[in-house]
Structure formats: C-alpha cells, structure tokens
Chain A
C-alpha cells in the first residue's frame, strides 16, 4: 500500500512518497497525518487535450477541464495545472457532461431508500457508467453513480411529486384539490400581510388543502404526470396554466399534436422518441405517435428529456432499446428533427433541471460538480464508446480496465509520458489509477438476470 504525504512549503508543493507495507503502528500515525493534511491540500484532476462540449453552447477543441475537490475549477486553454494534479489524457477524444438518466432501475444496485441501499460495487453501476450515465433517478430519488463510495451519492431524496390525471372522477378530484389549495394559498398570503397589523387575525383554515399540491403551487417541488393521449395532455396543460405551475409530463406521446398548448403551459416532457401509439382513426384530428415528437415539442418551447423504453440494463434482451443505449434513443430524436445540441441537452442538462439538480450536474461549468465522460467519438454516433467516466472529480470508469467492452475497438495506448527526473508530483496519479483499475466486483450478481429460457421472444398472433 502506498500512502502519499504532501507537505506545503511556501509556494512550493512537494510530495513525498512513503512505501508502507504491512500497516504498523507508525503507519497508522502517517495516515492520521495525511488526513489532517487533506483539508489544506485540494485534490486536483486535469482532463487534458479533449474536445470539450460544455453543454452551455461552447465547444472547445483541445481544452482542459480542471477539477478541484470534485468541483470544476476552470475550463479552457493554458490553465495552470498544479503539479500534484492527477491527469487524464483526453487527447483525440471528446469530453461531455456525464449523462443524466431521468429514470432508471437497477443502476444503483439498491431499491427503496437509496441512502441505505445503494450498492457502490454493483456491476450495474459499472455498466451505467459505461453507458455514460453519472446521475440518475430511481424510486423518485436522485443519486450519482459514485463507484466505490456512498458519501454524497444521493443528491435528492424526492425528485417529483407524482400526480395522476386519469378518469373523470380522478380528474375532477384533482381539480378540486388545486382549487381548494390555491384558494387557501391566496388567503394565507393575504393573511401574512394583514397579520403584521392585526396580530389577532386568525390564520386561514388548512381544511381540504392537499400538502402535495401545496408544495407544487409553492414551487417547492415539480409535479410529474404520466400521460400520452392528446386530451389528457391538454387537460394537464390547462390545469397548469390555470394554477401557475410547470408540469413534467412523462410519455407525452401525442404531445406533438398539442405542442403549442404544452409550450404555453411551460410543460416539460420526458419522451421516448421510438414510442409507438396508433392513431385513433375514428377521431378526425392529429394523433398517434410521431418520430418528430421531440423536435416539435422543442420548437414549441417545451423542455425535452429523452429516456429509452427499457429503463434497466438489459443486454440479454433486444439490443439497442435499454438504458445502456441512451445515446441511441437520443439519436432517434435527431432523426425526427431535434437539433443535435438539443438532443444532447435532452440526456444531460434538461433531465438534470427537471430533477432539481441542474445546479450541480448536467453541464460543464465552473463551480458545478466535475461529472464528465470522455468518448472516442461523437456522443450520438452508434459506434461511440465511453472511454472514461469521472464523478466528483474522480476517475470511476476506464473502458480498457474493465472486462465488459475492452475488447471492442480497444483504445490505442497513449504515448508514454516523458520520464521527468525529480517530479515526484507525477507519481501519485499512477497509484490512484491502479487503485481504480481491476476492481473485481462483477462476480456475484449476474445470475438473476437473463434466466435460462426466460429470454425467448414472444411471437404473438398479432
């Protein structure tokens, strides 16, 4: 085991290396020393030489992303890179924000309350990173794919408030909840002012007020609906406009047919571009699914996030339709006319914003978390593989160091760095690299998937 001891002398950073084998009492002392020192010594990561797609409109060729303690410190050219910084050579490759899967299952290994159940050694987590996903939502919570680490993994314990818009009775009941709650909220705000003068004034009654709806109307949380039919989408749009909130609508299959109304309502859509829905031929109007859905919604001002039809890792199933192929699904939005930039947004910053974590992840900006992926080509190209994934400034996935995909178009060896004579600051990165690599954590949990005969396909009669 190697332990790094860094001592700061004036402006000079020196790193001294101690080789400690078989931890003994003095070694434990060294560890403690390092811990104390850590508070002063930031951890740097420099991703150098890649073509950086920031997600904010810039595309910087051959630029460097520098992270300090997991946050992006600077992006650009000729940056001062501290010599103790770990370096990741992205020369000839592309750098994108880590992808955000707006809903998935199984990537985090856990279920229910993620804070207690995330498995940071799950093979699914590695596969998620291989698919470029660094943040996802599962069981309505938001978490990062922080491999080997639990601390700071959960970003949000509640992503949305789910509301149901269905059935005549259900719709009427929801409308009543909104009406009662909105009336209460107006009365409460009025009371808030009046009570300053008249301390005796009674607070308005909360009777009939729905706490979920109240949170939505106060803007504390986003309401999420699941709807595909055009009439349901219109109903949600009207509700949202009347009561002044921005609905997130999952599905939104016929959204293209009522895109203007959704745009005016400030709706946000979670779409699967390959979704199929037949048109109701009895109705004389636009309907059914359309490959142009994402593009038309986008043009109408609706924020669009993209998710594949299968939300778990399903490599034993039909190729190209599961969460491992988020980029393929986004490609289909482009086929329907969505601009490439917006298609990338639809798997990065848009879902991040919808999940309420847009200030942390989803784009490469100074001050945000350093969650990024390095790819061997255009992100949306079907041949492109994620070569490296970085979460919170730490390298957590290296394609060549994992068994899964290392044999497919192996990354050419980077030219060996020049031997620097007394530059001890270069050394620790090798140690860290070795620590990340070769994690042999894929042994246990394969058998559950892809049962013996379970993957036979169905050939229904129709």
Chain B
C-alpha cells in the first residue's frame, strides 16, 4: 500500500497507478475486458486504452476515443494485449498445514491461519497471471474448513486478503474415504447432512435473533461460518469430480439445503449434470482433469474423448470456469486449463476461455464487484501479455495488482 503520509503531501512517493500516485494510461493493441454483460464495456477492444488511478480502473475504451487526463503517465505497450488478472477457485499453494484430518467435518478451521505470503509458489502464480485465488483446505475430510480469497501478488496478509471466509470447503470426492477404515460414500453423505443441518439451524437462530424474533443463541464458534453462508457472504466450494459425485453436490447441497454452491474441481463426465447445474444456477469450475476418455468401468463415451467444458456448454451451462487444484497442477498453469477446454471442443467464439479464467470464477465467488473484468471501478488487476492467454506460447510480460506493478519479466527475470 502506498499512501503518501500527511507530512509528505505533494511529493511523488507513490508509483503511477497505485493508491496515492498519479494516474497511468495503458495502451495496447488488444484489450480483452471479459466484460460485456451490461453492454457498457466491449468484450474485446482493438487498440484499447485502460486508465488506472488509485489502484482502480478508471475507464476502459478505444484509444482514439478515450481522452487521457493531464498528468497521467502513458505506457504504450505496442503489440501487447491486456486482460484482467486470472481468478483461481481451487488452490492449495498459499500456505502449509491446511489439510487437517482429525475430525470428519471441520467447519471452524480456517485456511487463512496457514497463509505464508510471498512464497515462491505465489510469486510463480503471479507470473502466471493469477491475481486472485481461493486458498482452501484439502479434501482429507468431508468438510475441510474455510477457504480464504487472496491476492497472491501482494506482500502481507492484510494486503492480500480479499475475503474471509472465501468459501466453506466441502469434499465429495473419494479422498475423504481415506479418513478411516470402512469410510464409504453413504456415511460421508449422512455425516455431511448432519453437520449441515446443525450448522444451518444455528445460523437461522442467529438470523431470527438479529431481526428480533428470538433470544440471542449461545455462541458456537464451530458453526459461526454457517451465518456467513446463510447471509450469502460466502459460498460452498465443493471438491467434486465425476457425474455421480456432482449429482450429489447439486441434489444435496443446492436442491436439498439451498446453499450457494459451485462445482469446484469438476472433471471427467461431470458435464452430464449440465442442465441440472444450469437450472439450479450451480456454476461449473473445471480442472485439472478436464477430459475423459472411454474407460468402460466408469465412463461411457461410445469410444470418444470428451471435453468436460464442452459437455457443460452443450448442455446449456453458461457459467463455465477453470481451476488447477495447485500444486497438483502448478498454479501458473491455470491458463492451460482453458486451452484444454477449447482443444477438446469448447466453443471459444464468444471468449469462453477468457471468461472462464476471469469473470466467471469472480462471479461464482461473489467478488465480481472488484475483480474479474476490466471495467471502470474495479481493482486494477491487469495482465500485459503477448497474445491469446490460453496459448502456452503466450508470455505474460507484466502483472499489475491494484495498480501496482508486481511482476515485470523484463526487469526481474521471467518466472513463468
């Protein structure tokens, strides 16, 4: 954070673009805004201009239409492209010791307690264009605890923090079966329901109390996060994978309990739930096992290799995003997940890949008011890159987070 202290008023202590500094105008050959839903900002602007001041985006438009205010530093990026920083909703690289497995459900545990700022993993994440990530507990138990939304490019926890709790992590994959001998899916489902009922009942008692309809309930720290869930302050991010599991995710968490939940780590034939997911407004965040191939014991594809993202798209799901499960796939390879989506069929003519890396996950996590697209008023989290972000050949040259240049391949060396 750079805010000129009162005694230094008037001195240029802050860099252009960041809070307290002069404005900056970024000019580029192509601007992928990931906007366009409201009809104000075009999704793709050729020869575009992005104005940044005090860490936020001031305006976005065509270079020959948008005037540059006096005193702004103009950066002509030539052939480079601009796009919003990428948003990752399934990451484990911001710290260590986040996968406690003592109890089967752990709604009170917080991944935020284990964050280690500025570690190499996070520097590489930034170099790979990831400017916001959801750092979540592992899937050793059915409910690993609370995730935290962070900006990996910044230096201290306070600066990094976007929102806590970032999510409540539920795991419906097969990993929690390792919890103990004999643990199977029926018990996991039963156990999860018990915890959800208890937690939501607690949250409702508080909600009743807050609108004066009930006495103040006794505080149960373990269940406090359910108040955030009930009030819509956070969501459930679910480690779920293939059709059978994703079906449970939607049927149990969304339909039965009415939770704001999204498919995280969606893989393989999860797309068979596409219509159900779309109808119930459950976003599909996919990766890193995004394709499925004929393997008759579990999957039937009539001999075809199927892309999960394309499957969701065909089924009418529009909210398709990508995740890595870093470090299973390194955090900096988030963009590759979108390349795989497109390679295996996703129609990219309406920029589905870029949207799936930015605005879709931002909206899914409820942080699209500040990140996920280049639109006036949002955080200036901006990537300067050499071309199509999905293409492995494309290099990210610079990364701005809240107007601060946090990565510059030319100066500090290319990290990714």
Contacts and interface: CB of A to CB of B under 8 A. Distances in A.
B37 to A, nearest CB: 25
Nearest to A319: B340
A291 B416 contact: yes
Given A408-B307, A459-B99, A318 B329 contact: yes
A381 B302 CA distance: 27
A198 interface: no
A129 B393 CA distance: 23
Interface stretch (A64-72, A258-266, A327-335, A347-355): A327-335
B139 interface: yes
Contact of B328 (A274, A403, A451, A457): A457
B293 interface: yes
B94 to A, nearest CB: 12
Interface stretch (B146-154, B216-224, B274-282, B284-292): B284-292
B142 to A, nearest CB: 14
A334 B394 CA distance: 8
Interface string B117-146: 000100000000000000000111000000
Interface in A308-345: 315-321, 328, 331-332, 334-337, 340
A149 interface: no
Contact of A446 (B97, B295, B307): B295
A449 interface: yes
Interface in B296-315: 296-298, 302-305, 307, 310
A321 B339 CA distance: 12
Interface stretch (B78-86, B256-264, B330-338, B366-374): B330-338
B141 to A, nearest CB: 11
Contact of A403 (B291, B303, B392, B414): B303
A452 B304 contact: no
A404 B339 contact: no
A290 B409 CA distance: 12
Interface string B339-363: 1101111000000000000000000
B291 A462 contact: no
A407 interface: yes
B98 interface: yes
A452 B296 contact: no
B325 interface: yes
Interface string B72-116: 000000000000000000001000111100000000000000000
A461 B98 contact: yes
B294 interface: yes
B391 interface: yes
Contact of A319 (B139, B289, B295, B345): B289
Interface residues on B, range: 35 or more
B305 A405 contact: yes
Contacts of A319: 287-291, 337, 340, 344
Pick the most buried of A318, A332, A453: most chain B CB atoms within 10 A of its CB.
A318
Pick the most buried of B174, B293, B416: most chain A CB atoms within 10 A of its CB.
B293
A447 interface: yes
A335 B342 contact: no
A447 B296 CA distance: 7
Contacts of B207: none
Q: Interface of chain B, helix or strand or loop or mixed?
A: loop
Contacts of A381: 391
B249 interface: no
B328 A458 contact: yes
A403 B304 contact: yes
B161 interface: no
Given A290-B414, A319-B340, A403-B304, A335 B393 contact: yes
Nearest to B97: A461
B14 interface: no
Interface string A435-450: 0000000100011011
A315 B268 CA distance: 10
Contacts of A321: 329
A320 B290 CA distance: 9
Given A319-B288, A334-B393, A403-B303, A446 B345 contact: no
B134 to A, nearest CB: 14
Contacts of A317: 289
B325 A459 contact: yes
B330 A276 contact: yes
A284 B261 CA distance: 48
B333 A452 contact: no
B109 to A, nearest CB: 13
A380 interface: yes
B345 A382 contact: no
A409 interface: yes
A328 B336 contact: yes
Contacts of B293: 315-316, 404, 450
A336 B127 CA distance: 12
A459 B393 contact: no
A382 B307 CA distance: 14
B390 interface: yes
B305 A320 contact: no
Contacts of B328: 318, 457-459
B304 A407 contact: yes
Interface of A: 274, 276, 278, 290-292, 315-321, 328, 331-332, 334-337, 340, 380-383, 403-409, 442, 446-447, 449-453, 455-462
A-B CB proximity, top 5 nearest: A331-B392, A403-B303, A315-B293, A334-B393, A382-B339
Interface of B: 92, 96-99, 120, 138-140, 173-175, 241, 268, 287-298, 302-305, 307, 310, 325, 327-330, 333, 336-337, 339-340, 342-345, 390-395, 414-416
